[in-house]
Structure 1
Amino acid sequence: MADALAWRKKFGVIVPSTNTIVEPDFYHMAVPGVTAHISRIWIRDQNLSDNDAFEALLEQIRVEIEYAVQRVMTAEVDYMVMGMSAETFWGGVQGNREFIRNIKKWSGLDVATGAEACERALNLFGAKKIGVVTPYQQIGDDNVIKFFNEIGFEVVRIKGLKCPTAVAIAHVSEEELRQALIEVNGEDVDALVQAGTNLSMVGLADEAERWLGKPVIAINAATWWMALRENGIEDKVYGCGRLLREF
């Protein structure tokens, strides 16, 4: 028997306990008959002040993520969505594919990841050279560059905002993000990509595509788009970028 509200699909969404942007973003992009059910990865120490702290936060996530998957599976969800992006870029293509295999092993379900969603979106747009905005320290940016290089894209410029804590990522203002997009843009760039699911970029990316005249891929929009399309849901969503509006 179908769920009363999720008569099409139930998505299990894994997010860090510190993340305050993914959940409202996914609700904003909701389509009839599809529901998102959040399971939080406990972050005990949210310090991101340097490369070592960034690595330590990811180590916490690797310990806790299986528990988050197990909890949301009790809701009998149909599909998994990773609501954090850094771990999906870590280790390049091999790291991403290993992450996907782990989620499938723990849940038995397919999963949408931010890294793979960006890969699909960039291929769809025919982009080759990209500018990237992240909230990360240098080590995070290095892993983003590694992933994109390995799948055939050139990162022409990258702007890491070096947010000091996990919660602070959500405090980055629209003006700061707008300036970051301008910094990584250029005539030598085919598309812009934003990583970091706790950055609030979905609405701004939709606007920026008009004044920059090129694709601007907000990671939460791309991940939600991948999740919908992977499940045969073709509904268009407006105000969240070209991916959800046109493809």
Structure 2
Amino acid sequence: MTSTIKDALGWRKKFGVLAPSTNTIVEPDFHAMAVPGVTSHMSRIHIRNQDLSSDEKMVRLLKEMGDEILFAIDRVMTAGVDYLIMAMSAETIWEGFEGNRTFVKRIEDYAGIEVASCASACKAALEAFKINKIAVITPYQPVADERISRFFNDIGVEVVRLKGLRCPTAISIAEVSEDALRKYLQKLDGDDIECIVQMGTNLSAIRLADEAERWLGKPIIAINAATWWYALRYNDIQDRVYGCGRLLREF
């Protein structure tokens, strides 16, 4: 018989969040977007060397995370979570959309529960807005930016422009200021795009995206807002969240 006893705070859902140990943005972002009865519980993927200053070093970091992701799952599952969120965008888009399917299946088979990936969230968000042409901003090196463009091509979305910030370390991603991001968004905008997508869960953008939608007049999809939205809606939680962009407010 299924127990009717519920967690005192997570009485609707308890989300386990898998994020790099260097990430200082996604946890407070998720807390800022919290809705009643849904809690998020961070499990950190150990990053031993945070150097991202070249294509080779970024590829190395992603490869080294393979087993560490499973260790992070082991830890967070002890909290009795109902659902997982993979709060790292590069890992989920690296091998295109089919690669995302493979990644999600690997995590779900290991954990025994379902998982939201940033790649799945991006696809769902763009479909909600019926978007076909975008600009993208990332904190990454060229090797990751090329993979991101390929991923969007896989799902039938054209990347018209892309700005990679070339952040030298994993921690430095969180040090990109709102003023700097605002200028990049303005440069990326144009009549030839319908939306701007921000990748990189350690890049702080949910509040700026909400603001930028008003002065650019188009959707700005911040990856943390999209992933949180996807996790909520996948679990049939329809609460609207304000101050983080149109996606959570309207869909």
In the superposition, the TM-score normalised over structure 1's length comes to: 0.99
CA distance in 1, matches of 2:115, 2:127: 19
Identify the residue that residue 146 of structure 2 maps to in structure 1.
142
Does 2:39 match 1:35?
A: yes
Paired AA for residue 112 in structure 1: A
State whether structure 2 residue 7 is matched by structure 1 residue 3. Answer: yes
Matched, 1:223 2:227: yes
Query: Which ranges of structure 1 fall in alignment gaps of 5 or more residues?
Result: none
Tell me, in whole angstroms, the C-alpha distance in 2 between the residues paired with 1:39 and 1:200. 19
TM-superposed CA distance for 1:183, in Å, is 2.1
1:98 aligned partner = 102
| Cα distance in 1, alignment partners of residues 132 and 144 from structure 2 | 21
Match of 1:192 in 2: 196
Residue 60 of structure 1: aligned partner: 64
Q: What CA deviation, in whole Å up to 9, does each residue of 1:170-193 have, x standing for no partner? A: 000011111111222110001110
Whether the 8 Å contact between 1:81 and 1:111 is mirrored in structure 2 is yes
1:128 to 2:132 alignment: yes
Name stretches of at least 5 consecutive residues in structure 2 with no aligned partner. Answer: none
1:178 equivalent in alignment to 2:185 = no
Residue of structure 1 equivalent to 2:76? 72
C-alpha distance in structure 2 between counterparts of 1:101 and 1:183, whole Å? 38
Amino acid at match of 1:179: K
TM-superposition CA deviations, 1:192-245 (whole Å, max 9, x none): 100000000000000000000000000000000000001111111000000111
Aligned residues: 247
List structure 1 segments (4+ residues) > 6 angstroms apart after TM superposition. Answer: none
3-state SS, counterpart of residue 6 of structure 1: coil
* Equivalence map 1:147-158=2 (5 Å): 147-158=151-162
Matched with 2:53 is: 49
Q: Out of 156-165 and 103-112, give the one that drifted further.
A: 103-112
Corresponding residue of 1:24: 28
Instruction: Pick the aligned partner of 2:87 from 67, 83, 90.
Output: 83
Look up the match of 1:245: 249
- Greater shift after overlay, 55-64 or 7-16? 55-64
Answer yes or no: is the 8 Å Cα contact 1:47–1:164 preserved in 2. yes
Q: Distance in 2 between matches of 1:53 and 1:183?
A: 28
Counterpart CA distance in 2 for 1:71 and 1:106 is 13
Displacement, 1:63? 2.4
CA distance in 2, matches of 1:30, 1:7: 13
CA contact (8 A) 1:70 1:106 kept: no
Aligned-pair identity in percent equals 61
Q: What is the deviation of 1:145?
A: 0.4
Choose 10-19 or 108-117, whichever is displaced more: 108-117
Distance, in Å, in 1 between the alignment partners of 2:119 and 2:179 is 25
SS of alignment partner, residue 237 of structure 1: coil
Distance 2:99 2:181 in 1: 28
